[in-house]
Amino acid sequence: MDETELFATYRASGDLALRNQIVERYLPIAAMIAKKFVGRGVEFDDLYQIASLALIKGVDRFDGSKGVKFSTFITPTIAGEIKNYFRDRSRLVHLPRRVSELRQSVRKTADEIFSQTGRNPSPCEIATALGVTEEEVVTAMESGGVVSLDRPADGENEDGASYYELIASPEDEFEHLERKDAIRSALKDLTEEERQIVACRFGKELSQSETARRLNVTQMHVSRMERKILEKLKENLRKSAVD
């Protein structure tokens, strides 16, 4: 069955087996086009998958009666899908396609008006030229740009504080200091051996057996001491909280 016949039969019957047959016949084209977009940070397999999905959609949309060969029709369709994928993937914050396209048109129109008039156009002028509302133009203009947290917050001074440094810490630093101080004073009342056990178990995060091996005692001893130390620490902390 030639191409025209195949598509005509599929359009008439809607037979899925026939559609699969068409898709399989043109999969090499999908692979060929996907290969042309390799080297942009996306694996061939992913590109091939996108191209194959575009091919399936294209088979359903193709109208052979218009005199265009399927390969001519499907190539821009697949290339378009792959390019859309790259565009969507290249932004950390995904903009809706309409906003993204409007952003490009706004920039282009602004450049054109600037070259004609020699001055920067207002959003109202751009909106009139593009046939959209002023609000849409402003939204499109404001929607771009990802800012690095390492960038100086005042925009110029390289030695100044970065955005990252200005972000509030999720943990209250004073609370953290207070807690540290309470633990330090609670540890003061421990014996040398008890302090060594705390250092091994909670500082170095060793197991009871490893701690026992290092301190040359039994694991049972470490376990008993640990219970005793925890009780002692709890009591000390309770006392310091009351004071």
Partner 1 sequence: MLLTMEFPLGREIMTTVRLAVGGVCSLVGFGLDACEDCKVCVTESLLLLLHAGCGRAKIVFSREDGLKIEISGEGGGVPAEKTTEEEISVALLTALVDDLVTEHTENGARISFGFKGL
Q: Give the alpha-carbon dihedral of 172, 178, 180, 185, to 10 degrees.
A: -170
Write out the two tokens for 218.
């039994």
Least distance CB 76 / partner 1 (angstroms): 3
Using the minimum distance from each CB to partner 1, give the nearer residue, 39 or 118. Answer: 39
- 229 lies in the site for partner 1, by CB under 8 A: no
Task: Round to whole Å and give the CA distance between 134 and 108.
Answer: 16
Q: Of the candidates 6, 18, 33, 54, which one interacts with partner 1 according to CB under 8 A?
A: 33
Amino acid at site 118: G
Residue number, 19 or 107, with CB nearest to partner 1:
107
> Quick one: which of 20, 40, 204, 231 contacts partner 1 (CB under 8 A)?
40
Q: Answer yes or no: are the C-beta atoms of 96 and 41 closer than 8 Å.
A: no
Residue from the set 37, 123, 208, 236 that interacts with partner 1 by CB under 8 A: 37
94 vs 100: CA distance, rounded Å: 9
The residues near 70 (Cβ < 8 Å, ≥ 6 apart) are: 3, 7, 26, 58, 62, 64
Tokens for 58, please give them.
């294209």
Least Å distance between CB 35 and partner 1? 10
User: Shortest gap between Cβ of 96 and partner 1 (angstroms)?
Assistant: 18
- Which one, 95 or 237, has the nearer CB to partner 1? 95
CB of 73 to partner 1, least distance (A): 8
> How far is 31 from 48, CA to CA, in rounded Å?
6
Binding-residue pattern over the window 69 to 88 for partner 1, x denoting contact by CB under 8 A: x-xx--xx--xx--x--xx-
Nearer to partner 1 among residue 15 and residue 111 (C-beta): 111
71 Cβ contact partners less than 8 Å away, ≥ 6 residues apart? 26, 29
For the chain, the C-alpha Rg in angstroms (whole number) is: 34
Which residues ranging from 92 to 131 are in contact with partner 1 (CB under 8 A)?
A: 104, 107-108
What is the distance between the alpha carbons of residues 178 and 173, in angstroms, rounded to a whole number? Answer: 9
Residues near partner 1 (CB under 8 A) are 28-29, 32-33, 36-37, 39-40, 69, 71-72, 75-76, 79-80, 83, 86-87, 90, 104, 107-108
